Structure 1
Amino acid sequence: MNFNNKTVLITGGSRGIGKATALAFAKAGAKVGINYKTNMTKAEETLQSLDGSGHQLFQYDIANKDQQQELIKDFLKTYGHIDILVNNAGISIPHDIDEVGFEEWTIAWEQTMNTNVFAAANLSFLAAKAMMQSGGGHIVNISSRGAFRGEPTKPAYGASKAALNALSQSLAKRLAPHGIYVGAIAPGFTETDMGAKTLTATERENLLRESPFKRMAQPAEVAHAVLFLASDAASYSSGAIIDVNGASYLRS
């Protein structure tokens, strides 16, 4: 896939799936804007590892409505247009309903929805407005298999990803006449540095058993699916939700 002269904004682009996606787009010729919140060291490391030139870091908290607008303004000031938006940034907060109090429950829901849904919706709005002026583009949202199978210890996370799927499909229908294509990727558990630090040995073993491949997804495998949906060849796949979970969860 060739993305020469394309501009790409990736939220949460400094590590994990976001980093792998940034690497893949840069290798394919795109100019990549990496949004990150706080970890400048990781963001700089990712920036330095990208092929090509013209890449840029954008430090903004996308859970903040004002900073969402500033991020898109800054990106457009830097590149002049936006071809591809990848809404990758997300959070996952454990909040077992039979273990937490009401305040902890409500905080988990508010924070999760602000980052996983409202930020993606607002950035899609702002990016789409710019894309309408420049002839179209692509929006790819990073969802999760949790949107389909449920997340009993993190229900807000599962609900947020289900909402992100619905957002993707709603925008796919509405934005098609403007030449803007929208889709989502629903990964299973992915082998990232952050995930490795939080898993116990037992949890890791259980996750490995979920897939008949007996392994987790690699970030690069998720990134490959992102690039497909962001490519012109996938235009008629607008509205699609692509599972990348190693057959660990199958839906009809």
Structure 2
Amino acid sequence: MDFTGKNVLITGASRGIGKATAMAFAKKGAKVGINYRSNDEDAQKTLAALPGDGHQLFKRDISQKIETKALINDFVKEFGQLDVLVNNAGISIFHEIDQVDFDHWTNAWKKTFETNLFAVANLCYWSAKAMMKTGGGHIVSVSSRGAFRGEPTKPAYGASKAALNSMSQSLAKKLAPHHIYVGVVAPGFTETEMAKETLTPAERENLLRESPFKRMAQPEEVAHAILFLASSEAAYSSGTIIDVNGASYLR
């Protein structure tokens, strides 16, 4: 896979899967736009680590509707055109129905869907408009195995990712005549920096038992699937959802 001359925008790219994906695209010759919401220090570190030249930071809170249009406009203004959009940014809020009050419950649903679904829908809208003007492109979104197996402690997260899957497949059909290819990667639990910082030993052990490989996914493994779906070789795979969960959940 060669992305020389391609311009790639990745949301939530200062850490974790987004950072690994930015590194992978840059190593393949792409110019990368790193979107992030607030962590200036991590964003600057990621930018500095990318091989090649011409990469840029785009600080925007995509949960705000107006910011999604501004992000795409800013990117196109700086890079000329958008070839690949990777919707990676997402949030996860615990809200167990038998444990939380109603305000917590409704707030968790609102905030989760604002970032995990509505922001993605809006970015797809504006990026598709931009791609139509330049002959096409690729949209790849990061979902989760939780869309299929359920998330009892954070149901809004599972529901938002299930909706993301459905929306992506609808767009794959609608955008195909415009040569815009849409795909989804659905990871299992991934061993990011945040996971290493926050997991207790017991939680980590439980996660390791979920896969017959007895380990978690690495960010670079998820990035590899993203790059495949963003490649010209994967055009006829438009509408595909790739599981990257180490056989921890099969469907």
The answer to whether the superposition gives a TM-score over 0.5 is yes
Partner of 1:113 in structure 2?
113
Distance 2:4 2:159 in 1: 36
Note the alpha carbon deviations across 1:189-246, whole angstroms, 9 max, x for none. 0000111222111111000000000000000000000000000000000000000000
> What is the CA RMSD across the aligned residues, in angstroms?
0.4
Partner of 1:7 in structure 2?
7
Distance 2:50 2:25 in 1: 9
Partner of 1:91 in structure 2?
91
User: Percent same amino acid at aligned positions?
Assistant: 71
Partner SS for 1:227: helix
5+ residue gaps in structure 2?
A: none
5+ residue gaps in structure 1?
A: none
Note the alpha carbon deviations across 1:105-125, whole angstroms, 9 max, x for none. 000000000000000000000
Partner of 1:221 in structure 2?
221
Distance 1:238 1:248 in 2: 24
Report the TM-score, using the length of structure 1 for normalisation.
0.99
| Shift in Å, 1:148 | 0.2
Q: Which amino acid aligns with 1:83?
A: D
Partner SS for 2:13: coil
Distance 2:140 2:15 in 1: 17
Partner of 2:72 in structure 1?
72
Partner of 1:149 in structure 2?
149
Partner SS for 2:78: helix
1:129-148 alignment runs, 5 A limit: 129-148=129-148
Partner of 2:52 in structure 1?
52
Note the alpha carbon deviations across 1:11-30, whole angstroms, 9 max, x for none. 00010000000000000000
Distance 2:32 2:211 in 1: 32
Partner of 1:43 in structure 2?
43
Distance 2:33 2:102 in 1: 39
Query: How many aligned positions are there?
Result: 251
